[in-house]
Amino acid sequence: MNGRLEGMTVLVTGTGGGIGRATALLCAREGAHVVGCDLNPGPSDETVALVRAEGGRMDAIAPVDLSTPEGATDWVERAAALAGRVDVLVNNASAIRFGPIDALSYEDWSFTMRNELDLVFLVTRAAWPHLVAAGGGSIVNIASISASRGAWFMPQNAHGAAKGGVLALTYQLVIEGGPHGIRANAVSPAMTQTPHTTPMLEDPDGPAEQILSRVPLRRWGQPEDVAAAVLFLASPESRHVSGANIPVDGGAAVVG
């Protein structure tokens, strides 16, 4: 690796697996001190062990519930104390409940909003003073192609609405962060093979083949694909990029 994040501190939410774990590993390989968090201590500890086994530097705090103001603020403050500063914030953590509009309960809608949109606001608000104090930095929000198009293979109204909110918040952060040297960008994956999605993708009676038929590159996204886009937006290479939304979807957004 080239040390693209050498000397930088990167906070990543949801590092227990999938995209969060891949992002933590890649950022640590590039020289960052990564501080993560997760709801589940076991997977969180596994990620820390993987990073340290490669000679990287990572700390993590778990369990953490970022969907409350207290939980989000406590994690950011503890992370900043461990690392000494905050240069990059990667808002990756999320939890979703699916259902069609005529069946999705308000409880499930609210759960999704709280765990996909509210927590991005809460963590970013808590990290903002640290980014300002550092003289600027980078915020990378994990959105979704569902933020800008409907999902035909399963009902995702709450998920799409929440991720649409993440994009809108990202664009506002561009304006508010500019005077402080804070950049804000988003990465929008399509279907990505993670521990949560693998059972569906391997189900012979599931929608996997239908979904794949609409991906021009004809393969599933991997967490490492998303992490590579995050790395670019976190690094000084993107120092004049703010307000971008990078689809990591194998071309799926073009197909519609």
C-alpha gyration radius of the chain = 17
pLDDT in tens, 113-171: 999 999 999 999 999 999 999 999 999 999 998 888 767 667 789 999 999 999 999 99
Amino acid 216: pLDDT: 81
Containing H/E element for 160? helix 157-177
Quick check: is 256 in a domain?
no
pLDDT-wise least confident of 25-39, 64-78, 84-98, 190-204: 190-204
Number of domains in the chain: 1
Average pLDDT over residues 195-218: 75
Q: Residue 252: inside a domain, yes or no? A: no
Instruction: Determine the structural domain holding residue 239 and report its residue range.
Output: 9-246
Tens-place pLDDT, residues 54-77 = 999 999 999 999 999 999 999 999
The answer to whether 37 touches 75, Cβ cutoff 8 Å, is: yes
Put the strands of the sheet holding 9-13 in their side by side order. 57-61, 33-37, 9-13, 88-91, 137-142, 182-189, 245-248
**Phi then psi for 61, rounded to 5 degrees?**
-125, 125
| Phi then psi dihedrals of residue 186, to 5 deg | -130, 155
In a domain, 3, yes or no: no
pLDDT in tens, 169-189: 999 999 999 999 999 999 999
| pLDDT, tens digit, 9 for 90 and up, residues 27-56 | 999 999 999 999 999 999 999 999 999 999
Strand duo 33-37 + 9-13: pairing? parallel
The answer to whether residue 48 is domain-embedded is: yes
In a domain, 255, yes or no: no
pTM of the model as a whole: 0.94
Contact yes or no for 58/30 (Cβ under 8 A): no
Q: Residues 69, 120: contact at Cβ < 8 Å?
A: no
DSSP-assigned beta bridge partners for residue 245? 186
Per-residue pLDDT tens over the stretch 237-254: 999 999 999 999 888 878
SS3 of 204, please?
coil
Q: Would you say residue 228 lies in a domain?
A: yes
**153 assigned to some structural domain:** yes
Would 173 be classed as within a structural domain?
yes
> Any bridge partners for residue 140, and if so which?
90, 185
CATH number at residue 93: 3.40.50.720
Give the three-class secondary structure for 74.
helix
Binning pLDDT at 50, 70 and 90, where does residue 211 land?
Answer: confident
- The answer, yes or no, to whether residue 232 has pLDDT greater than 90, is yes
Cα–Cα–Cα angle for 38, 22, 71, rounded to 5 degrees:
20
